[in-house]
Amino acid sequence: MFGHLQRRSGVSPIQQRFPAGPDVEVADLLAAVTAEPEGGRLKVGDPRIVDFIVKFARKLLAPATARRFPELASLGFFLRRGEITKALAGLETTGDELRFPRGLVFHVPPANVDTIFVYSWALSALAGNPNVVRISARSAGAAETVIACLNEALAEADPIVAQTQRMVTYGRDEAVTSALSAACDLRVIWGGDRSVAEIRKSPIAPHARDLTFPDRASFAAISVDGWANATPEQRRDAATGFYNDSYWFDQAACSSPRTLFWVGDEAAAQVGRTEFLALLGEVVAAKHFVVEPAMAVQKRVSAYGVAAEGHATAIHFNGNAVATLELSDPADVPREWLGVGTFPQATLTGLDEFVRIAERKDQTFSHFGFQREELVEFAHALAGRGIDRIVPFGSALSFAAVWDGYDLLSEFSRLTTVTG
Amino acid sequence: MTATAEGVFGLAQAEREAALLPALTELTEHHRATCEPYDRILGSLGYAHGAEFGTVEEVPWLPVRMFKHHVLKSVPDDEVFKVLTSSGTTGAEVSRIYLDKQAAGDQPRYLGRTLQAVLGEKRLPMLMVDTIGIIKNRRSFSARGAGVLGMANFGRQHVYALDEDDKPDVEAIKGFLAKHGSEPFLIFGFTFMVWQYLYEVAREHELDLSNGILIHSGGWKKLIDRAVDNAEFRRAFAADTGLTRIHNYYGMVEQLGTVFVEGPSGNSLYCPDFADVVIRDPETWAEQPVGVPGVIEVVSTVPRSYPGHALLTEDLGVVHGVDDGDWPGKRFSVLGRLPRAEARGCSDTFSGGAA
């Protein structure tokens, strides 16, 4: 596919997306990014970066942009000055510890989630690092808008931003990946197991580290009692939140819930399920969610596959948009993507039953109708062996500075100790 | 010289369905009894054992891609005689189709009976629009090679139109025509190759193909750039080479032995008597009315060693008419492929990047 690219000195040229500029060679890019900047190196929480990001966030929150890409509005909120200040406050050190940027960070975000690269980059930039972000050639829509907003915000920014913060696109060229990998102090790999394995073929320096975001599986759970006691409004909100969590990103984001567990009495759970699915059907209809024919076929292939392997006893389709599978056993929970709007279901007697089937791979557990104490007890029982986030319905996709068990700002910085 | 419909293109739609329905019902039960994963799928969809179906449309279907992800066979391991694999242009995924001895013998028999309708009983001299290399190099034996080899049985005195470097061998074609061109002869090839290597060469060298019968398959995707569709293909061959007996066909490895053949007057595919198509609405999955495009389901009573008697393809098609064409039954066209489902997931940095 990239055979048409002109090769110079054996290495593909790198397309500069932000700051927009002519193609460069990887060696020239690295030299520029790591050169001593005028006005001094970036610090943790550097005001020159904070100002730039705040201006950028304002552009994301412009009504026309936010309407077109709601996910960019979420991003804009995440990057408001107040939020940034709060996040940076967590980095303050006391006593003998001093915090500094980690160094050159190389980010490899996924191609299809248009906003991950911004979160990953912004937090690293706020920690004071020079960054090179590889943006997929397949990026589209929201990603293009993000890049346009970044370039617009650059006009009023300190020149250090353009010098140290780079977003680039290049073909499948291991030479470029290898050069960036060899030069970086931290490599951030999103995009699942295959990406991690692929990128890891390029070695990093002995002192450098990888921060990896491999394939994950996420779940939803409703308390049978909590559902029974919920008001009609709460139930409707739950269905809407669940819809947003699962249908946004085609249920394929690492934190999109797939299997829906009902926790409590089996007979009451059956009643709740029927009520919940009816509400979900209404939300899906109201949102005019369209499942393309190929996706509809994909859902059948996946759902039939789960049944073929003996893990589902019943499959129901409510149009193309909502498919449910009755799991033979909660322990058989599928962890792979089954197509948008495909929900295996099972009843658990209690959250402790999930603890027995949890795996390291499991990431987000979105919940409705539970008491906070139950959830805290659940987290203690899991004891970090699986599940990194326990969040209410509607928040599964909300990015946070703590992700996959990592406090990202901490990862993006380092500590020096001074004992007097 | 119109081909006769005797043999397998004889059943009007009502008779066809009346004949197919009990056979398909029996096959459904047979596969449930002998293929546990298939039985689980039907069970999970709520079909009772011994279920009766009112119409062919009601017979449960499997998406054809199931054969890429699961072992679906209705014969014991020790009776598997042959495993067919599909081409899969994307490389990674291939269908695996399991045949026992009986099935391996049935497939060419059904294919032969179907093609006899256009070829007649006698084996004709055969011009293969391919290279001998495609079947010589067994190690890189491809679906194209399998197709060529399978089809070679229907002719004799084969001549290959391409040399081993995939270049048109004009002398070989001229030699074939000098020897056989004054009596009926058979031409076989994949659609784009027939266009690129036979039509263009024949026009340039003013070759006379008027006694030929062309059988071709493979789809029009590669010819779209050249603005060649079926109508233009037929028009150009007739005008520039005299070739008018042209039969496109549609079939797939997951239902090998069953081919849907273009009738003599062109532009419609017909179902042999042991097969049918159901064009489904991708929203409701009910059968579309005549003239409305949908997803093609292919139905055939041939598959007995694996549950492939009712398969939802990933092709779009449309039925043009029923019992109103060259041959009885539904006549239809293939309109193209369903676009692949692609999710916006996190886990994707490399998937598809190599395409």
Q: What is the 3-state secondary structure (H, E, C) of A273-342?
A: HHHHHHHHHHHHHHCCCCCCHHHHHHHHHHHHHHHHCCCEEEEEEECCCEEEEEECCHHHCCCCCCCCCE
Residues of A numbered 350-369 whose beta carbons fall under 8 angstroms of chain B's beta carbons: which are they?
none
Tell me what pLDDT residue B256 has. Answer: 86
Cβ atoms of residues A256 and B344 within 8 Å: no
- Do the chains contact at B347 and A294, CB–CB below 8 Å? no
Residues B233 and B144 in one domain: yes
Q: Do B234 and B120 share a structural domain?
A: yes
Of B88-102, B248-262, B303-317, which gets the smallest average pLDDT? B88-102
In this structure, the answer to whether residues B51 and B168 fall within a common structural domain is no
For residue B5, name the pLDDT band (cuts at 50, 70, 90). Answer: very low
Question: Cα(A106)–Cα(A200) distance, rounded to whole angstroms?
Answer: 13
Of A293, A312, A340, the CB nearest to B295: A293
Domain assignment present for B3: no
User: Residue A293: which of B70, B338, B344 has the nearest Cβ?
Assistant: B338
pLDDT tens per residue, range A309-329 = 999 999 999 999 999 999 999
Note the pLDDT of residue B355.
Answer: 23
Q: Which residue has the tokens 């995009």?
A: A191
B40: nearest CB among A138, A307, A340: A307
| B342 in any annotated domain | no
Does the structure show a pLDDT above 90 at B353? Answer: no
Give first-to-last CA distance, chain B, whole Å.
Answer: 45
Cβ-contact A308, A316 below 8 angstroms: no
Contact A310 B40 (CB under 8 A): yes
Residue B64 lies in a domain: yes
A191 CA to chain B: closest CA distance, Å?
4
Task: Please state, as a whole number, how many other Cβ atoms lie within 10 Å of the Cβ of residue A148.
Answer: 15
CA torsion A52-A53-A56-A61 (nearest 10°) is: -140
Please tell me whether residues B273 and B199 are part of one structural domain: no
pLDDT band with cut points at 50, 70 and 90 for residue B147? confident
Range of the structural domain that residue B297 is part of: 13-79+267-337
| Residues of A (291-350) whose Cβ lies below 8 Å from B | 292-298, 300-301, 304-305, 307-310, 312-315, 319-320, 325-326, 337, 339-340
Residue B348 domain flag: no
DSSP string over B285-302: -SBPPTT--EEEEEEES-
pLDDT of residue A174: 87
Q: DSSP state, B334?
A: E
Exposure of A66 by Cβ count < 10 A (0-12 exposed, 13-18 middle, 19+ buried)? middle
Give the rounded percent of residues in chain A with a pLDDT score beyond 70: 97
Please say whether the beta carbons of A149 and A56 come within 8 A. Answer: yes
B72 contacts A254? CB cut-off 8 A: no
Q: What is the mean pLDDT of residues A13-26?
A: 94
Binding-face residues of A in 181-240 toward B, CB within 8 A:
190-195, 198-199, 213, 215-216
State the pLDDT at residue A140: 73
Residue B158's CATH number: 3.40.50
Helix (H) or strand (E) holding A237: helix A232-247
Query: For residue A319, which residues of chain B lie inside 8 Å, CB to CB?
Result: 283
B336 touching chain A per CB within 8 A = no
CA dist list (Å): B166 to B48, B87, B125, B162, B169: 54, 20, 22, 5, 9
Average pLDDT over residues A389-402: 94
Residue B93 located in a structural domain: no
Distance CA A59, CA A151 (A): 11
Q: B349 and A111 in contact by Cβ < 8 A?
A: yes
Residue B150: band (very low, low, confident or very high) from pLDDT cuts 50, 70, 90: confident
CA atoms within 13 A on the CB side of A232: 1
B353 in contact with A, Cβ within 8 Å: yes
Above 90 in pLDDT, residue B309? yes
Q: What is the pLDDT of residue A12?
A: 72
Which pLDDT tens digit goes with each residue over B70-99?
999 999 999 999 888 876 454 567 889 999
Residues of B whose CB is below 8 A from A310: 37, 40
- Residues of chain B positioned with their CB less than 8 A from the CB of A342: none
**What residue in B sits closest to A297 (Cα-Cα)?**
B63
pLDDT of residue A35: 94
B238 has a pLDDT exceeding 60: yes
pLDDT at B68: 92
Question: Do the domains at A14-213 and A217-402 have one common CATH topology?
Answer: no
For residue B272, how many other CB atoms are within 10 A of its CB? 28
- Do B246 and B278 lie in one domain? The reply is no
Tens digits of residue pLDDT in B330-342:
999 999 888 776 6
Q: Hey, are the CB atoms on A308 and B40 less than 8 Å from each other?
A: yes
pTM of the entire structure?
0.89
Q: How many domains in chain B?
A: 2
* Residues B52 and B143 placed together within one structural domain of the fold: no
At B352 the pLDDT is 31
Tell me, yes or no, whether B124 and B225 share the same domain: yes
User: For residue B97, is it within any domain?
Assistant: no
In a domain, B30, yes or no: yes
pLDDT tens digits along B261-271: 999 999 899 99
How many beta carbons lie within 10 A of that of residue B163, not counting itself? 15
A 10 A CB-CB count for A397 gives 23
In chain A, positions 23-62, which contact chain B (CB-CB < 8 Å)?
none
Name the burial class of residue B51, with classes exposed (0-12), middle (13-18) and buried (19+) by CB atoms within 10 angstroms of its CB: middle
Residue B243 and residue B115 share a domain: yes
**Do residue B65 and residue B121 come from a single domain?**
no
Cα separation, B297 vs A297, in Å, equals 12
List A24's β-bridge partners, or say none. Answer: A14
Q: What CATH number should be reported for the domain holding residue B33?
A: 2.30.38.10
Q: Report if residue B101 sits inside a domain.
A: no
Asked if B120 and B244 sit in the same domain, the reply is yes
Count Cβ atoms within 10 A of the Cβ of residue B293 and give its class: 0-12 exposed, 13-18 middle, 19 or more buried.
middle
Q: Is B341 on the interface with A (CB under 8 A)?
A: yes
Instruction: Lowest mean pLDDT of A106-115, A226-235, B135-144, name the range.
Output: B135-144
User: What is d(CA B193, CA B301) in angstroms, rounded to the nearest whole number?
Assistant: 31
- With CA atoms as reference, the chain A residue closest to B316 would be A293
Tell me the CATH class for A14-213.
alpha beta
- Same domain for B71 and B42, yes or no, is yes
Closest-CA residue of chain B to A135? B349
- Would the CB atoms of A305 and B338 count as touching at under 8 Å? no
Name the more confident of B138 and A405: A405
pLDDT of residue B138: 55
Residues of A in contact with B350 (CB under 8 A): 191, 194-195, 198
> What architecture is domain A217-402?
3-Layer(aba) Sandwich (3.40)
Alpha-carbon gap: A99 to the closest alpha carbon of chain B (Å) = 31
The answer on pLDDT for A197 being more than 70 is yes
Q: Which of A213, A253, A307 sits opposite B345 (nearest CB)?
A: A253
Reported as half-sphere exposure (CB side, CA atoms, 13 A), residue A355 has a value of 15
Q: What is the dihedral of CA A57, A63, A65, A70, to 10 degrees?
A: 90
Q: Is A82 on the interface with B (CB under 8 A)?
A: no
Which pLDDT band, with edges at 50, 70 and 90, does B48 fall under? very high
How is chain A split into domains, by residue range?
14-213, 217-402
**Average pLDDT score over chain A:** 93
The predicted-structure confidence for A61-83, as pLDDT tens digits, reads as follows 999 998 888 889 989 999 999 99
Average pLDDT, chain B: 89
pLDDT tens digits, B122-132: 899 999 998 87
Task: Tell me the C-alpha distance between B261 and B11, whole Å.
Answer: 15
Give the dihedral sign, CA B129/B131/B134/B135: positive
- The answer to whether residue B134 scores a pLDDT higher than 90 is no
Q: Which residues, including other chains, have CB under 8 Å from residue B30's CB and lie 6 or more apart?
A: B74, B304
Q: Are B235 and B114 part of one and the same domain?
A: yes
